Amino acid sequence: MAAINQTALQIIENSIIRAIDEDKTRCENPQALIFLNKAYDYIHKQLIKNNSEINTVTVPVPLGGAVQEYPLVTYLENFWCMAEEGVYIGTEPLAPLTIRDKVRAGGDLTNDPPTAYYVTPDSLGLVPVPSSQCVTNNPTIYCRYYPQNAPLELGSLMPWSGIFNEPMSTFMTNIALLKGKGRTNEITALYNALEGEAMAIAAKRVPV
**pLDDT, tens only, 163-186:** 999 898 888 888 777 765 556 677
For the chain, state the CA radius of gyration.
22
pLDDT at 7: 93
Cite the beta strand spans of 44-149 per DSSP E.
57-62, 69-71, 79-89, 92-93, 95-96, 109-110, 116-119, 123-127, 129-130, 140-147
User: Crossing angle of helices 29-49/184-205, nearest 10°?
Assistant: 60
Confidence of residue 1 (pLDDT cuts 50, 70, 90): very low
**pLDDT, tens only, 103-136:** 988 889 999 999 999 999 899 999 999 999 999 9
> What does the alpha-carbon distance between residue 46 and residue 167 come to, in Å, rounded to a whole number?
14
- Using DSSP's 3-state secondary structure scheme, residue 2 falls into coil
> What does the alpha-carbon distance between residue 202 and residue 184 come to, in Å, rounded to a whole number?
27
Confidence of residue 25 (pLDDT cuts 50, 70, 90): low
CB distance 105 to 116 below 8 Å: yes
Mean pLDDT rounded to a whole number for the chain: 85
Torsional class of 85: left (φ above 0), alpha (ψ -120 to 50), beta (otherwise)? left
Torsional class of 66: left (φ above 0), alpha (ψ -120 to 50), beta (otherwise)? left
Give φ, ψ of 178 to 5 degrees.
-90, -5
Q: Would you kindly state where each structural domain of the chain is located, as residue ranges?
A: 8-51+161-205, 57-147
Check residues 22 and 126 and name the one with the higher pLDDT.
126
pTM: 0.80
Query: CB-based contacts of 48: which residues, under 8 Å, 6+ apart?
Result: 55, 80, 81, 146
Element at 166 (helix H, strand E): helix 165-177
